[in-house]
Amino acid sequence: MLPTKSNTADKGCSPVSSNCVIWQGPDLSCINLCNGDAVSDVVYKLATQLCTIKASLDLSTLDLSCLVSFCASTNPAPTTKTLSAVLDFIIDKVCCLNTTIANLPNGGNTYTEPNLALPTCLQYNDPATGQTITQLVHNQYTLRLGNQFCTLKATVDGHTTTLATYNTRITALENAPSITLPTVTPNCILPSTPTAMNLVLDELEAQYCNLRSVLGSNAGLTAAVGQQCQNLASQNALSQPGFVSGLNGWVPTSGDALSGTVAGAIKNLWVVLCDMRSAIYDLKNTAGTTDCSAFILKFSAAANEARTQVTLFFSGSTVVPAGFANCNAQGSKVTIKDTSGHTYIGYVDLVAAQTDTDGVTFTVTGASLSASQNFTVTVEGCVSKNGNTCSKVATFDVPVPCPIITSVTATLE
């Protein structure tokens, strides 16, 4: 249907609808226009593309402030931001920059690189002068920094490889099955049967600690060895002519396998003791002897039920020969000790005690002896005659008595 009105009708034109005019040109893929489309579609698509272009070329919001700050001779920026005006402004700025760069003086060899201070970790000693280098020119600074980085990187790479190896080994150890300790057959510290190694080691340590508590520490033993009399080796021997160092078996302070050892010190003690004994024996033969074989020291002991008193019986067992007396006014020393080490000290007149059938009683309440432990009684007997002394020691154990069991009769109704 043709339109009835047209703005060209009054100009002698025949009104024809644009929908009836066909585009017979080539296909235009850029605007999706095909041969055979109506002119209405062609105009619409062209108008759409034109609006899009117009919107994209709108320069009204374009910020040219950064271009204003340099090359002031080309300012100001265009007030009307058309494409042509903006491009002209940019071209002017580029030309101005080009002229400015072209007019810069030729640098040549007048530029000197700055010196940069080295941090402490990068400072080094100059091999030629031995002085510490604390600053370098820029290019040398950069080179040293690069070299140090490469060295550090090599170290870190090596550590990384090592840690990876350690991680593998640690993982293998963590995943390894549990270890079964081998058995050991002890010779003396435990029964001679195959025993787990850890048990043998525990027992060995326990016995070593006990032994050390008796013998003392290494420092204590060394100090004990050092207690030898000063210049003893150069002193005159007592039982023969010559010096102590000439006695058979004497261990010198150096040059011998036993020098400075506990074994060497004990050996020297015996050597000196034997020398003294020989001299004393000769002295006794010269001054006259006292026969101590007739002096007999024996006794028995018993405690009361509360174990607060201990009575010693010497009658019928101890013999003090006629003419002998106690070595001192107190008498012979009596030591009563429980198994915990608590000790009571007393004294006894052996001359009187040998005929006392009632025994000699000692009250031990003040010595903190344990009534539930065995008592060990030691008598250090000492009697003398004409200035000659006879000494003997005897011991007796007083065990804890067995408990008395009393029967009880009960009647059931």
In this predicted structure, which of 22-36, 115-129, 367-381 has the lowest mean pLDDT? 22-36
pLDDT of residue 1: 40
What is the tens place of the pLDDT at every residue in 60-107? 777 777 777 778 777 787 877 787 888 888 888 788 888 888 887 776
Question: Over the stretch 108-130, which tens digit does the pLDDT of each residue have?
Answer: 667 788 999 999 999 999 999 99
Q: Check residues 292 and 132 and name the one with the higher pLDDT.
A: 132
Share of the chain above pLDDT 90, in %: 46
| Token duo for residue 134 | 């604390």
Q: How confident is the model at residue 403 (pLDDT cuts 50, 70, 90)?
A: low
Give the span between the Cα atoms of 159 and 411, in whole angstroms.
89
| Residue 410 vs residue 221, higher pLDDT | 221
The mean pLDDT value for 32-55 works out to 84
Q: What angle do CA 182, 184, 186 make, to 5 degrees?
A: 165
Task: Reply yes or no on domain 300-398 having CATH 1.10.1200.
Answer: no
pLDDT in tens, 165-175: 999 999 998 89
CA dihedral 363, 366, 369, 371 (to 10 degrees): 60
Better-predicted residue by pLDDT, 406 or 339: 339
- pLDDT level of residue 382 (50, 70, 90 thresholds): very high
Give the percent of the chain with pLDDT over 70. 91
What is the pLDDT at residue 2?
Answer: 47
- Average pLDDT on 379-406 reads 86
**Nearest one of 307, 335, 333 to 399, comparing CA atoms:** 307
Find the mean pLDDT for residues 314-343: 93
- pLDDT averaged over the chain? 86
Between CA 168 and CA 396 the distance in angstroms is 69
What pLDDT was estimated at residue 290? Answer: 61
What's the average model confidence in pLDDT over 289-294?
Answer: 74
Q: CA-CA distance, 39 to 25, in Å (whole number)? A: 11
Cα-Cα end-to-end distance for the chain: 138
29-45 mean pLDDT: 85
Q: Please tell me the predicted confidence (pLDDT) of residue 286.
A: 64
Q: How confident is the model at residue 153 (pLDDT cuts 50, 70, 90)?
A: very high
DSSP-derived secondary structure for 18-70: GGG-B--S--BGGGTB-TT-BHHHHHHHHHHHHHHHHHHT--TT---HHHHSS
Tokens of 67: 């271009």
Helices (H), 196-261: 197-215, 218-225
Tens-place pLDDT, residues 212-268: 999 899 999 888 888 888 889 899 988 888 998 999 999 998 889 988 899 999 999
Burial 23-39 (b: 16+ CB within 10 A, else e): beeeeeeeeebeeebee
